[in-house]
Structure 1
Amino acid sequence: MKRNDEQPVAFNALNRVTWALRRAELAVSTLKEQRLRPLGMAAAHYTLLISVHSEPGLTGAELARRLNVTPQAVASLVARLEGRGQLERREHPRHRHVQELHVTVAGRKALLAADSVVDDIERQITDGLGPKETAQLRTLLDRVAETVREA
Structure 2
Amino acid sequence: MSQRGIDLTTSLGYLLKEASSTLRASMEAALRPLGMTITHYSCLELLAQRPGLSNSELARGAFVTRQSMNVLLQALERDGYVTRPEEARVGKILPAQLTPLGRSSLEKASAAVRSVEVKMLGGMTQDEQATAFRALQSMVRSLREDQGVSQGDSSEDRRHADK
- TM norm. shorter chain > 0.5: yes
- Structure-2 separation of matches of 1:96 and 1:147: 35
- Structure-1 separation of matches of 2:82 and 2:27: 21
- Aligned AA for 1:115? S
Aligned mate of 1:84, from 70, 73, 79: 79
Deviates more, 1:74-83 or 1:110-119: 74-83
Unaligned regions of 5+ residues in structure 2, if any? 147-163
TM-score, normalised with respect to structure 2 = 0.81
Q: CA deviation at 1:69?
A: 1.8
CA offset digits 1:11-57 (Å, max 9, x no partner): 41563222111110111110011111111111111111101111111
User: What is residue 96 of structure 2 aligned with on the other side?
Assistant: 101
- Structure-2 separation of matches of 1:130 and 1:149: 28
User: What is residue 18 of structure 1 aligned with on the other side?
Assistant: 13
Aligned mate of 1:58, from 53, 56, 62: 53
Is 1:48 paired with 2:22? Answer: no
- Structure-2 separation of matches of 1:67 and 1:11: 30
CA offset digits 1:82-107 (Å, max 9, x no partner): 122111112443x1532111111100
Q: Relative to structure 1, is the Cα distance of residues 57 and 128 closer, same or farther in structure 2, using a 3 angstrom cutoff?
A: same
- Aligned AA for 1:31? S
- Decide which structure has greater strand share: 1
- Structure-1 separation of matches of 2:19 and 2:142: 19
The answer as to whether partners of 2:44 and 2:98 remain within 8 angstroms in 1 is yes
User: What is residue 3 of structure 1 aligned with on the other side?
Assistant: none
User: What is residue 27 of structure 2 aligned with on the other side?
Assistant: 32
Query: How many residue pairs get matched?
Result: 145
Deviates more, 1:26-35 or 1:131-140: 131-140
- Decide which structure has greater helix share: 1
- Structure-1 separation of matches of 2:139 and 2:47: 26
- Structure-2 separation of matches of 1:114 and 1:77: 17
Unaligned regions of 5+ residues in structure 1, if any? 1-5
